[in-house]
Amino acid sequence: MRNHGQEVCQNQLIPIRDRGSRMLKDELRVSLSPPRLSALGNLSRMIETFGAANRLPEAKVYMLNLVLDELVANAVRYGFDGVAEPRIEITLWVSGTLLVMTISDNGRRFDPTESARPDLSSPLEERAVGGLGLHLVRRFADRVTYQFMEGRNRLTLEHNYTPARRAEGRDTPMDIEVAEERNDGVLVLLPVGRLDSGNVNAFETNVMQRIGGGERRLIIDFSRLEFISSSGLRVLLLAAKALKTGAGTMVLCSMKPHVEDVFRISGFDRFIPVKSSRAAALETWA
């Protein structure tokens, strides 16, 4: 029985046997009803557990979280106008070296494979705010297929992977906190946790208030940021544009490898400086 007005987030980790011989697949099923952005933290925990159980490389776990953030956020924001009982169904399964994710919803028909690709070569002044999410979804999958069947969108993403040994005991904060420091007159913001579509508004408010208050030298230290989606990239783009208009400068530093990959694939490293350490970032104003 559904509790109307409350979010239902159910998951099952199910061993599936083929022809009764041996276990070939592990499956994770998640249902969001009604879907809300606040579910992304819980969803990420499920993906982490699923990844550890199936020895998914950390890069693949990051990719799964990124894709689900983009697709869930896109459906919640744009897909359910006029839908009385919106619902998103997510299934992941692995077999051998194949990882498959399917996400379906009963929203308006929308084929992500036909969406326009963003111009990643444009300079900061001409760079559009938005449009990166579906590019990242396509970029991180080996095969993508879309179907519209019985009134439901169904997107399937396939990934090849090599099982890896996963570190034990990782505890990634699911929310975002922002510490603040000053070094030689430069404001340093240190986001801690994960920056996704569910918590990005607080981060945007923090950053833009600092710039609006007159900050012109800004470092964002990513050493404790575990995850960023296109919603977080959007904030960085807005901040870079605002600082350039006011003759200011923003430098990013200390990115973890998966965060740096997203930044590079999005083309942001072409117009926002990225340094390996905070000390290197501070040399910008030396």
Q: How far apart are CA 175 and CA 40, in angstroms?
A: 10
Q: How far apart are CA 168 and CA 155, in angstroms?
A: 32
Phi, psi of 177 (to 5 degrees): -125, 150
Q: Which two tokens stand for residue 54?
A: 């199936």
Which are the contacts of 7, defined by CB distance < 8 A and separation ≥ 6?
Answer: 32, 33, 34, 35, 36, 38, 39
The band of 52, judged by pLDDT with boundaries at 50, 70 and 90, is: confident
Q: Are 19 and 3 a contacting pair, CB within 8 Å?
A: no
The band of 172, judged by pLDDT with boundaries at 50, 70 and 90, is: low
Give the tens place of pLDDT for each residue, 200-229.
999 999 999 999 999 999 999 999 999 998
Q: What is the mean pLDDT of the chain?
A: 84
Query: Same fold for the domain at 8-160 and the one at 176-285?
Result: no
Q: How far apart are CA 92 and CA 26, in angstroms?
A: 8
Higher model confidence: residue 240 or residue 18?
240
Q: What percent of the chain has pLDDT over 70?
A: 87
pLDDT at residue 119 is higher than 80: no
pTM strictly above 0.85: no
Q: Are 166 and 52 a contacting pair, CB within 8 Å?
A: yes
pLDDT score recorded for residue 283 = 95
pLDDT score recorded for residue 138 = 81
**In which element (H, E) is residue 175 found?**
none
pLDDT at residue 17 is higher than 50: no
Q: How far apart are CA 96 and CA 153, in angstroms?
A: 27
Domain parsing of the chain, residue ranges: 8-160, 176-285
SS3 of residue 18 by DSSP = strand
Give the tens place of pLDDT for each residue, 65-112.
999 999 999 999 999 999 999 999 999 998 888 999 999 999 999 998
What's the CATH architecture for 176-285?
2-Layer Sandwich (3.30)
pLDDT score recorded for residue 169 = 46
What class, spelled out in words, does domain 8-160 have in CATH? alpha beta
Q: Are 240 and 271 a contacting pair, CB within 8 Å?
A: yes
